[in-house]
Chains A and B, each alone.
Chain A
């Protein structure tokens, strides 16, 4: 029996039976949900071979939940793809596999074999190279190998400045490149889904959601998330003001560093050596959401990759990062 099986099986059963929502949906969330469902159905109806990028985090949880609703009572009409770097939190991987088991999803996992062979890792190679090889390049490999013509991503426009201008249906050329100056105008809810062979579209059904919306929706819909989002005693070390979790024994401790147990949680989930924890007492989703409301630090600052340089996200996106 896989880890988290009880939680995930109960969730799967609820999704199959056509919901047992207890909370009324606020008007603004209902509107966002309907828009996302519309977007997902457009993809299913227009593309030959779509895929959903599933990155295990809370945004992916919401995106996946919306997809289950969009096609109900049909099963998901596309597979899920996880681009693994081999440096994700152990619990994330357990969660991913437990979820796929509970629902019977067609889950594809891809790791960049060249990167593995070269021994790329976030500690020795640095975050920029690690991200480039194990995420950006790995994603391209997986999309090419499977000839996916549309890929759902869970990015939101409120996350980061360069995202604010990205279309919901965002065109990628044969090399997965994004040209911010040459985007297709997007009017009404009419999405242009036409592409040539080898080209693709990245689709962002959560474009108009804010971080707060994500938390509220998780609550209203009672969607389970990886427990790493909730505060618990965890072994951490502090480096340059960032709390890093010692998730496994690959973590190279510096001289004089000893992991301490502190009550922490994560605002975003990625590769554990690149994801800062925050001290918190919030051990339920509602408590996290309320803490978030009072928060004074924006989400991406917990992600070390963005600090490398101003405008770094735009650079990565042009190269094909999600």
Chain B
């Protein structure tokens, strides 16, 4: 019968069996033979087709580094640019299978950008192969690679000592390298460290035991990979279910779709929504293959609760007892991946699990030197640097330590304007238990204060080049408001720098901090019920956005005082452009430091064709229209 034939076919096709999928990452310096090794694994596990082998032979002759023989490395170099330069530039994924299990290899390059790429490859890996060239021995790079994979949570590593053919298959050499390696990584704790002598090019100890090295009694590389634990998700861990998507086809069904990232859950279990703390009983576990009794780590399902509960994407459903920590501040290891350095105080978007929230680094505690594994003082993190930082979020999210649950303990940082992924983080611990520490609640609120003043507290944020007319217009606006009986305050760039921000200079980092402090002070004044005007060049979009995020919807109005740089230089009220031209002032905005104009200002004033009085009138008009004046 057909069902029988099908079952048999599936059986024969499923030669990956119950071993599941092992994901591993390969690390090595350029020319250690990494590509050759992976090509060899693909080749010998018979995953290559005839036409691929023909192409390979032809390409080996043209670009090969194996002296006319088959260059297995060419199987891997995917992109034209790389093929021409003979280097690998990014992370690539390869697939092969043996009779026991399936493998996904994250192939990462050994040069420059390796930290970022290796971390990417290691983030999903259960094991890592560290490759060294038997002739060159253990190098600084090897130590770094060990550090990175350890940091990313890989617990099984293999030291593959390659090119044993070129050292006469000498046991002495292998033993010495093995010992040296163990000493170098003594401070890192791995569950297993296995050293294997191989020749990637000749195939010795890759798939089968090597007759050339009878002194070696351990497993061949592939045999060892077949025995390592495959999953990084912990079925026995605490139950965690980040809600991805609210599944609501009609009035009668409301489910929460997502993937169980840790632990397991059964119908009838008491569960809690981290954050709100609401609790419920799990009523159904729905899948397209019918309802289930239980779901465990790694499964994508839809949960239905026994009562109406306020849940949205970004929430985490957990067991009632072992809950994640809900916090808006935590300490984390941070790997910087952006071209622009990490700037403490700057606002980024943080994505963790299914939650996305504005966040900034409140303190960079230190950088970690990946050669010595030692902390060193730092004020910023450059591309590929690693540090320990405190992060501060706009609102609390559910978190775990990375060591406990990878998915709820990891995050990425996204630049708010380029949208690039610029950082990756691993949470160490929460900095204050939001459950225990509450903000002091006062009986007189912002609303009360504003009501007495018959106005809506508002921050008018004037931004623009020096000389564009920010202070002039802001001053007129305040005069008119005061005359009309409104309660106001002005924070002026120059004045603030005489006091509050006396300790800051004009480097990019100091300008970021300058605006952060002004934003916080402005927020206090808004809280007091005032209409606040500020006049700061504030050249960076991220900082202006960060201030906007501090306030409630509608409270922040960005006023773009827009005048062409030529006009500003012509006006030059404080003689600053003159000085900048003479080289007396460095980092002068519009001159040798960028000004990022607002894309969508709330109020746009083109002061080249607008008198200061008219400009001020427009601002007042806008305030009235928006209902801010009572």
Contacts and interface: CB of A to CB of B under 8 A. Distances in A.
Interface string A59-84: 00000000011111111000000000
A160 to B, nearest CB: 8
Interface stretch (B9-17, B263-271, B503-511): B9-17
* Interface residue tally on B, bucketed by range: 35 or more
A90 to B, nearest CB: 27
Given A68-B288, A181-B89, A185-B424, A212 B247 contact: no
B95 A157 contact: yes
Interface in B1-44: 2-3, 5-10, 12-14, 16-21
Contacts of A73: 247, 249, 253, 255, 286
Contacts of A287: 9
A297 interface: yes
Contacts of A207: 93
A175 interface: no
A41 B89 contact: no
A192 interface: yes
A45 B95 contact: no
B287 A290 contact: no
Contacts of A38: 244, 258-259, 300
A33 B407 contact: no
A286 B244 contact: no
A215 B13 contact: yes
B5 A297 contact: no
B77 interface: yes
A185 B116 CA distance: 8
Interface in A162-199: 162-165, 180-181, 183-190, 192, 194-196
Interface in A279-294: 284, 286-287, 289-290, 293
Q: Which 5 A-B pairs have the closest CB atoms?
A: A286-B9, A298-B49, A72-B288, A37-B300, A19-B289
Interface stretch (A3-11, A23-31, A111-119): A23-31
Interface string B119-151: 110011000000000000000000000000000
Chain A contact residues (Cβ within 8 angstroms of B): what range? 35 or more
B104 interface: yes
Given A74-B247, A162-B79, A22 B3 contact: yes
Contacts of B14: 26, 28-29, 216
Interface of B: 2-3, 5-10, 12-14, 16-21, 49-52, 55, 59, 75-81, 83, 89-95, 97, 101-102, 104, 107, 116-117, 119-120, 123-124, 244-245, 247-249, 253, 255, 257-259, 286-291, 298-300, 302, 313, 337, 349, 351-352, 354, 406-407, 410-412, 414, 419-421, 424
B259 A187 contact: no
A31 B248 CA distance: 25
Interface of A: 15, 18-19, 21-23, 26-34, 37-38, 41-42, 44-45, 68-75, 157-158, 161-165, 180-181, 183-190, 192, 194-196, 207-208, 210, 212, 215-216, 219-220, 284, 286-287, 289-290, 293, 295-298, 301, 310-311, 314-315
B313 A45 contact: yes
A19 B288 contact: yes
A284 B10 CA distance: 13
B573 to A, nearest CB: 36
Contacts, number: 211
Contacts of B59: 310
B94 A289 contact: no
B245 A45 contact: yes
Contacts of B17: 26
Contacts of B257: 41, 70-71
Nearest to B255: A73
A161 B92 CA distance: 9
A190 B20 contact: no
A26 B12 CA distance: 12
Contacts of A195: 419
B76 to A, nearest CB: 8
B3 A190 contact: no
Contact of A28 (B8, B102, B354, B410): B102
B424 A18 contact: no
Contact of A157 (B93, B123, B300): B93
25 contacts: A19-B287, A19-B289, A23-B7, A27-B21, A28-B102, A30-B299, A37-B259, A38-B300, A41-B300, A45-B244, A68-B288, A70-B257, A71-B245, A73-B286, A74-B247, A162-B78, A165-B78, A184-B421, A187-B410, A192-B420, A219-B6, A286-B8, A297-B50, A298-B49, A310-B59
